[in-house]
Amino acid sequence: MKLHEAEDIYDVILPIYILSKILGLAPFTIAKKILKPHFNPLTLVHILLVIGGMCYNAYLVETLEQQQKMVALALKCELYLGTLMTFTVLTLAIINQKLLIECVEKIDEIDMNMKNINIKINYKNSRRFVSVQIIFITCVFLLKVVLQFFMHSAARLSMYTAFNVFDYINTIMLFQYVDLLLLIRQRFIWMNRRLRQLNNYTDYFEKLTIPLTPIVSDTDTKKYPIRTKLDSELILNNLAAIYVKLCQLSRLVNRTYGIQILVTVGSRFVMITTQLINTYNIIGDPRFDSPIRYTLTFIYLFLHSSKIFMIASLSENTAAKVGCYNFC
C-alpha cells in the first residue's frame, strides 16, 4: 500500500503492526480493518525461544574470559536487564492485547467525530512518519551489527547479534507507545486550533451549510439536533465530548504500557550508568584504543539515552496540550 493511500488509522499503524506481529508484540489480528484478540500457541513458543536464547547468551557471557572486569559488567548488565525487558514486553503484549485494540478503536472513533465537525484528518503524514521511524531504527541496529562484525570473534559476534535482536524487540514496543502518544498529541493540537478559531467563525457559520452529526448522547442529541448550519454552541459541545474521549484514551494508553515503560526506563538508566563507567575505562586503557569501539559505545549510549528522553519529552509535551483547556 502506498503512502498516499492511507485513509484511516488502520492504514497508519500498518507498518508497525506488521513488524510487531513478526516480533510477537502484536498477537491480535486485523481482518477488514477489524481488530480481534488472538492467542496462538506459536506465540508462547516464540516467547520461550526468545527467553531461552537470552539464557543461553547468559551462559556464554559467564564462560567467556573478559579482558576487563568493567567490560564484563557492562555486558552482563545489558544481558540481564535486556532479558527482563524482553520477557516483560512479550508477556504483556499478550495480556494487554484487548487494551491495545481498544486504544486503536478509540482513535478511529475520535477521528470520525472530528470529521463530523469538519476537522481535517491527515493520515498521509502520520503513515510516512511511522514508516521512516521504523526504517531509521532498523538502519541504526544494522550499523551496530556491521561494526560488531569487525570487533569480535565469531562466538562473540553471535552473542552480540542476539543482544541486538532482543533490544530491537524492546525498541519496537517503545515505538508502539510513542506512536500512540503522537497520534493523541496530534489530535489535541487540531482540537486546540479549532477552539482558537471559534472567535472568528461569525462569517464562516453564515456560509457553511454542511450537515453535522453530534457525537453526544441520545438525550443531548435531542437537545442539540442535527442542523444544516454549524453554530458555536454545537461545536463547543462536540469539542468538549471529543476532549473527554481523548483524555480517556490517554489514560488507557498509560494503563496498557505503564509496566513496560517503568521497566524500560529503570533498566535504561542502569545501562547508561554502566556504559558511562565502561567508556571511562576504555578511554584510559590503550588496549581498547579503537575508533570502532568508541563508535559502538556512542551508539549504545545514544540508543539508551534517546529512548528515555523521547518518553519524557513526548509525555510532557502531550500533557501540555491536554492542559490547554479544562475539559478533562
Q: Is 33 left (phi over 0), alpha (psi -120 to 50) or beta?
A: left
Burial class (CB in 10 A: 0-12, 13-18, 19+), 155: exposed
In the predicted structure, residue 106 carries a pLDDT above the cut 90: yes
pLDDT at residue 61 tops 80: no
Give the pLDDT score at 167.
86
Give residue 228's region: left, alpha or beta (phi > 0; psi -120 to 50). alpha
Q: What is the model's pLDDT at position 324? A: 55
Q: Mean per-residue pLDDT for 261-265?
A: 91
pLDDT confidence bin for 218, thresholds 50/70/90: very low
What pLDDT score does 211 carry?
45
Distance (Å, whole) CA 262 – CA 77: 17
- For residue 65, what pLDDT is reported? 57
Average pLDDT of span 205-210: 47
More confident: 78 or 219: 78
pLDDT at position 28 is 84
The answer to which of 37-41, 234-238, 322-326 has the lowest mean pLDDT is: 322-326
pLDDT tens digits, one per residue of 275-299: 888 777 777 766 666 777 778 888 8
Across the chain, mean pLDDT equals 79
Q: Is the model's pLDDT at 136 over the cut of 70? A: yes
Mean pLDDT along residues 245-253: 93
DSSP structure string for 98-114: HHHHHHHHHHHHHHHHH
Show me where the domains of the chain are located. 9-324
Question: Which stretch, 44-58, 60-74, 148-162, 226-240, has highest mean pLDDT?
Answer: 44-58
pLDDT category, 162, cuts 50, 70, 90? confident
As a 3-state breakdown, the chain gives helix, strand, coil percent values, each rounded to 5, of 80, 0, 20
Mean pLDDT confidence for 192-207? 63
Contact 43, 94 (CB under 8 A): yes
Q: What percent of the chain shows pLDDT beyond 90?
A: 22
Q: What is the pLDDT of residue 55?
A: 77
Over residues 217-231, the mean pLDDT reads: 45
The model's confidence at residue 71, banded by pLDDT at 50, 70 and 90, is low
